[in-house]
Chains A and B, each alone.
Chain A
Amino acid sequence: MVFNWATLVQVLALIVSQVHGFPKPEGSRDKGIYNRELSEERPLEEQIAEAGAGKIRKTVPTENKPEFRNYSFTDDLNLLKSVTGKERNEKERESIRSSLYDHQQPAPDDADSTKNRRLVDDYDSTKSGLDYKFQDDPDGLHQLDGTPLTAEDIVQKIATRIYEENDRGVFDKIVSKLLNLGLITESQAYTLEDEVAEVLQQLIANEAKDREKESEDLDYPPSRTDSDTEEKQEEKMSVETPNVADQVGVMNGEIDDTLVNTWPSSSVLERRNELPSEDNFEDLQYFPNFYGLLKSLNSEEAKEKETLITIMKTLIDFVKMMVKYGTITPEEGVSYLENLDAMIALQTKSKLESPLTSTKNKLLAGKAEAYLEAIRKNIEWLKKHNKQGNKEDYDLSKLRDFIDQQADAYVDKGILDKEEADVIKRIYGSL
């Protein structure tokens, strides 16, 4: 799992820096940091981290845009220069890519939403040029009937393309072409990237919402506890949870099918930070296991819910802070949060009907392991024994019924706890 993440980490830097970028909508607190001059002496990670700060602001959903559209082009260019000066190996490309995404350094008191519109106008004005330029472009950035595309169309189309092909190389190609041809300035390139990213996010979010509506719930069916291998569990999770991870994969030009945990998009996290209401779980769906955990708490455990959410938020803020200050790399932050969610998965897996108690869960998990081991040995022996004796295959359902019955009897007699009996039944049920 770590290895998988490691490969995606550069890309995740994008998301992560979004994650760890600085939360407050007002942004005034972070003013000082954001305005730090980028210089080549500072380590790339740090710059990326900073850039991440900017990116968060950048990629909030449309309605929040006005507050975050604060960026200074000078900084952008400086960053770009410092960054593009480095050698373009795979790793660095990704760093750069993320830094490109992250470059936006909002000036705190310059909430100018019109910039967006101007950009659209820019696109409009160069429209014909684009059309011309890309006539032979296999990507085909024009409508079928040959009419020129509007800027929005172009953005939409690029985003859709990237989404469908899971490959942001499409975008890179286009942008670099545009840049090389001098048709757009670098800052316009950045802005274009932002636009595309937003649309892309929207696409992904919509898809995620659809999928979430389809899947019953994020809680794993109780039978799938300890009898499943880790992989089985993960497959289940990747199917049932909103696939924001795809976004990450897309950005990286790769997609890892065994991705287990999903990452919150910056917009989502921004929303989370803006909405301190503990009842708003929408955002937390991007931490699927955590979300599942919360959902499984009943109304009487409101206090626990509150505590959990607060803790989670605090943690995320903490991690963001770390990344921002360069104390850790975005990759490390990503990995940390991902591990956190995985740990939640583990705990949730072993959690049964009983309320959240640490020792009880650990105990049950330990017992479940021991019981699973014992049951396995029995099944193995039965298979071997019957084979040797040339008997018919042992009747699993009969055995299961017998065990179920016995387990219940044991509960009545005080030999087994109800939870233990359930664990045993589940293990047998899953065979």
Chain B
Amino acid sequence: MAAGRGWGLLALCGALSACCWLLCAGAAEQEAAAGASRRRRLSQEDGISFEYHRYPELREALVAVWLQCPSISRIYTVGRSFEGRELLVIEISDNPGRHEPGEPEFKYIGNMHGNEAVGRELLIFLAQYLCNEYQKGNETIINLIHSTRIHIMPSFNPDGFEKAASQPGEFKDWFVGRSNAQGIDLNRNFPDLDRIVYINEREGGPNNHLLKNMRKAVDQNPKLAPETKSIIHWIMDIPFVLSANLHGGDLVANYPYDETRSGSTHEYSSCPDDAIFQSLARGYSSFNPAMSDQNRPPCRKNDDDSSFVDGTTNGGAWYSVPGGMQDFNYLSSNCFEITVELSCEKFPSEETLKTYWEDNKNSLVNYIEQIHRGVKGFVRDLQGNAIANATISVEGINHDITSANDGDYWRLLTPGNYKLTASAPGYLAITKKVAVPFSPAIGVDFELESLSERKEEEKEELMEWWKMMSETLNF
């Protein structure tokens, strides 16, 4: 076509008409549209677009993963944020939607502090990555997906994220968007079970499942944010075994306990499973070159990272955190959770996301694999029926776990020799000796005899003896 003499005018005219008959919509949609149009500008790799996803894009990204891998994925929602956004989860497993007896459940939760954005994005990338790799025939991933039920919640605080992301320009305030829409810091909002366990340690009392009447306590507690309530229900409904909670603002893998025993600001506060937690935390950090670099300078000049070892730290040793989600998991359920700080900057520029993914993808996968460690099995009665809620205790570790609805249990342990005892009300406990390697998990099943059965048995035995005696003695 020739010169643009009148072309400019025509172009204007066309642009006007285009605008007009597409009838501009509201600001929110425009914002989303801007995001949508940005989408293809930035780096893309294998369907993973390395850019920040706002709520609509987050949803779309998860839906796209589901559409690509519908046989191994399922999207569900755990509840709604204060402003009504769905707390979306994508589960990846060979039988999405179902708990397979014996198959351990894993979860990743990101973006609990809305302005700590890297975790959110990494989890979206991870979901896409797992789907891609599965279809490419990556055996590690295939085996992982076939043997684990992986739940990924990219954002626990979508409202906070929107607030943080809405800040103009690159500079993001250290606090804006951290809390939920009510101004609640979700990682201080969980019932403080640390205090209770410390009391129990001193004075005797349960060492697990410390929130009595959990559902009632949660539903009636006015101090809990809707997000917190949703998560607690989630934890109660699914027998999670291993979890990680992704944050930003530093670079370390943090493990329980977060709250110091004495109440001081810094104090190593080990939990009964300190050994396995250290190992689990290293299971993340060792695959992240930046995190595990002992010579790495601290994120900020005056930061005290003296507690950091091999890219890991005990929570209390770093700084005391009461009411956090990590410890709540450990003390109210069977789930072992660590807190991973992914980035010195809480909301770094978009261009860095690809690098964060490269640095973390191996860690993210390897950490899931840690779930296949220790001892696992079933607790059943003599007829082969599952005994749910049986207690499995380990000699020398003052923390018991319980069996799930199908009688299945998973006890994470570092390598060594252990004595495991399974018990349940009305049943006779059984103890077994187990030699645990680094991995995979060793299978140990328990067949428990109920007390009434035992009584019957004893009665029978007695009858037999009496019969024998009477015959012999001619009663």
Q: Which residues of A are in contact with B by a Cβ distance under 8 Å?
A: 293, 304, 307-308, 311-312, 314-315, 318-319, 322, 325, 327-329, 331-332, 335-336, 339-340, 343-344, 347, 355-363, 366-367, 370-371, 373-375, 377-378, 381, 385, 399, 402-403, 406, 410, 413-416, 420, 424
Q: Is B60 an interface residue (CB 8 A)?
A: yes
Q: Nearest B residue to A329 by beta-carbon distance? A: B2
Q: Give 28 pairs: A residue, B residue, CB < 8 Å, sorted on A.
A: A304-B21, A319-B13, A332-B2, A336-B10, A336-B14, A343-B14, A344-B21, A356-B22, A357-B24, A358-B19, A359-B29, A360-B25, A362-B36, A363-B36, A366-B37, A367-B36, A373-B47, A373-B64, A374-B47, A374-B63, A374-B65, A374-B66, A377-B135, A378-B69, A414-B86, A415-B59, A415-B63, A415-B75
Most buried by B among A325, A356, A363: A363
In whole Å, how far is A164's beta carbon from the nearest beta carbon of chain B?
33
Question: Which chain B residues border A293 with CB–CB below 8 Å?
Answer: 21
Given A358-B25, A399-B70, A370 and B86 contact (CB-CB distance below 8 Å): no
* Assembled-state Cα–Cα distance A175/B22 (Å): 49
* Assembled-state Cα–Cα distance A20/B327 (Å): 76
* Assembled-state Cα–Cα distance A328/B22 (Å): 27
Question: Which chain B residues border A363 with CB–CB below 8 Å?
Answer: 29, 32-33, 36, 56
Q: Nearest B residue to A424 by beta-carbon distance? A: B67
* Assembled-state Cα–Cα distance A8/B405 (Å): 74
Q: Which residues of B are in contact with A by a Cβ distance under 8 Å?
A: 1-2, 5-7, 9-10, 13-14, 16-26, 29-30, 32-33, 36-37, 39, 47, 56, 59-60, 63-70, 74-77, 80, 86, 88, 135
Question: Which chain A residues border B77 with CB–CB below 8 Å?
Answer: 413-415
Contact B14–A315 (Cβ < 8 Å): yes
In whole Å, how far is A330's beta carbon from the nearest beta carbon of chain B?
11
In whole Å, how far is A405's beta carbon from the nearest beta carbon of chain B?
11
Contact A378–B30 (Cβ < 8 Å): no
* Assembled-state Cα–Cα distance A2/B65 (Å): 37
Contact A311–B76 (Cβ < 8 Å): no
Contact A366–B17 (Cβ < 8 Å): no
Contact A374–B67 (Cβ < 8 Å): yes
Which residue from A311, A375, A402, A424 sits with its C-beta under 8 Å from B17?
A: A311
Given A315-B14, A327-B5, A359-B30, A370 and B22 contact (CB-CB distance below 8 Å): no
Question: Which chain B residues border A308 with CB–CB below 8 Å?
Answer: 20-21
Contact A331–B1 (Cβ < 8 Å): yes
Contact B22–A361 (Cβ < 8 Å): yes
In whole Å, how far is B1's beta carbon from the nearest beta carbon of chain A?
5
* Assembled-state Cα–Cα distance A325/B5 (Å): 11
In whole Å, how far is A302's beta carbon from the nearest beta carbon of chain B?
14
Most buried by B among A366, A370, A375: A370
Contact A366–B76 (Cβ < 8 Å): no
Given A336-B10, A414-B77, A415-B75, A375 and B67 contact (CB-CB distance below 8 Å): yes
Question: Which chain B residues border A331 with CB–CB below 8 Å?
Answer: 1-2
Contact B10–A318 (Cβ < 8 Å): yes
Contact B14–A358 (Cβ < 8 Å): no
In whole Å, how far is A109's beta carbon from the nearest beta carbon of chain B?
30
Contact A358–B23 (Cβ < 8 Å): yes
Q: Nearest A residue to B20 by beta-carbon distance? A: A311
* Assembled-state Cα–Cα distance A84/B222 (Å): 92
Q: Is the interface of B mostly helix, strand, loop or mixed?
A: helix
Q: Nearest B residue to A334 by beta-carbon distance? A: B1
Contact B17–A359 (Cβ < 8 Å): no
* Assembled-state Cα–Cα distance A92/B306 (Å): 86
* Assembled-state Cα–Cα distance A362/B18 (Å): 12
Question: Which chain A residues border B69 with CB–CB below 8 Å?
Answer: 378
Contact B135–A413 (Cβ < 8 Å): no
Question: Which chain A residues border B22 with CB–CB below 8 Å?
Answer: 347, 356-358, 361
* Assembled-state Cα–Cα distance A361/B68 (Å): 23
Contact B6–A328 (Cβ < 8 Å): yes
Q: Nearest B residue to A414 by beta-carbon distance? A: B86
Question: Which chain A residues border B32 with CB–CB below 8 Å?
Answer: 359, 363
Question: Which chain B residues border A385 with CB–CB below 8 Å?
Answer: 135
* Assembled-state Cα–Cα distance A205/B65 (Å): 50
Question: Which chain B residues border A339 with CB–CB below 8 Å?
Answer: 14
* Assembled-state Cα–Cα distance A374/B47 (Å): 8
Contact B88–A357 (Cβ < 8 Å): no
In whole Å, how far is A49's beta carbon from the nearest beta carbon of chain B?
11
Given A327-B6, A363-B29, A415-B88, A378 and B68 contact (CB-CB distance below 8 Å): yes
Which residue from B19, B64, B86 sits with its C-beta under 8 Å from A415?
A: B86
In whole Å, how far is B264's beta carbon from the nearest beta carbon of chain A?
45
Question: Which chain B residues border A366 with CB–CB below 8 Å?
Answer: 36-37, 39
Contact A318–B9 (Cβ < 8 Å): yes
Question: Which chain B residues border A406 with CB–CB below 8 Å?
Answer: 66, 70, 74
Q: Nearest A residue to B128 by beta-carbon distance? A: A374
In whole Å, how far is A22's beta carbon from the nearest beta carbon of chain B?
16
In whole Å, how far is B345's beta carbon from the nearest beta carbon of chain A?
29
Question: Which chain A residues border B64 with CB–CB below 8 Å?
Answer: 370-371, 373-374
Q: Nearest B residue to A385 by beta-carbon distance? A: B135
Contact A371–B67 (Cβ < 8 Å): yes
Contact B68–A358 (Cβ < 8 Å): no
Q: Nearest A residue to B84 by beta-carbon distance? A: A414
Question: Which chain A residues border B14 with CB–CB below 8 Å?
Answer: 315, 336, 339-340, 343
Question: Which chain A residues border B67 with CB–CB below 8 Å?
Answer: 371, 374-375, 378, 403, 424
Question: Which chain B residues border A315 with CB–CB below 8 Å?
Answer: 13-14, 17
Given A359-B33, A363-B32, A378-B70, A307 and B21 contact (CB-CB distance below 8 Å): yes
Q: Nearest B residue to A309 by beta-carbon distance? A: B21
* Assembled-state Cα–Cα distance A377/B67 (Å): 9
Contact A356–B23 (Cβ < 8 Å): yes
* Assembled-state Cα–Cα distance A340/B64 (Å): 32
* Assembled-state Cα–Cα distance A61/B56 (Å): 54
Contact B23–A357 (Cβ < 8 Å): yes
In whole Å, how far is B87's beta carbon from the nearest beta carbon of chain A?
11
Contact B60–A367 (Cβ < 8 Å): yes
Contact A356–B68 (Cβ < 8 Å): no
In whole Å, how far is A307's beta carbon from the nearest beta carbon of chain B?
6
Q: Nearest B residue to A339 by beta-carbon distance? A: B14
Question: Which chain B residues border A328 with CB–CB below 8 Å?
Answer: 2, 5-7, 10
Which residue from A360, A375, A413 sits with its C-beta under 8 Å from B68?
A: A375
Contact A403–B13 (Cβ < 8 Å): no
* Assembled-state Cα–Cα distance A362/B35 (Å): 11
* Assembled-state Cα–Cα distance A385/B70 (Å): 14
Given A357-B23, A363-B36, A318 and B29 contact (CB-CB distance below 8 Å): no
Most buried by A among B21, B23, B65, B68: B21
Question: Which chain A residues border B10 with CB–CB below 8 Å?
Answer: 318-319, 322, 328, 336
Contact B6–A362 (Cβ < 8 Å): no
Question: Which chain A residues border B7 with CB–CB below 8 Å?
Answer: 328, 332
Question: Which chain A residues border B63 with CB–CB below 8 Å?
Answer: 371, 374, 410, 415-416, 420
Q: Nearest A residue to B64 by beta-carbon distance? A: A374
Contact A377–B47 (Cβ < 8 Å): yes
Most buried by A among B7, B23, B32, B37: B23
In whole Å, how far is A231's beta carbon from the nearest beta carbon of chain B?
23
Question: Which chain B residues border A416 with CB–CB below 8 Å?
Answer: 59, 63
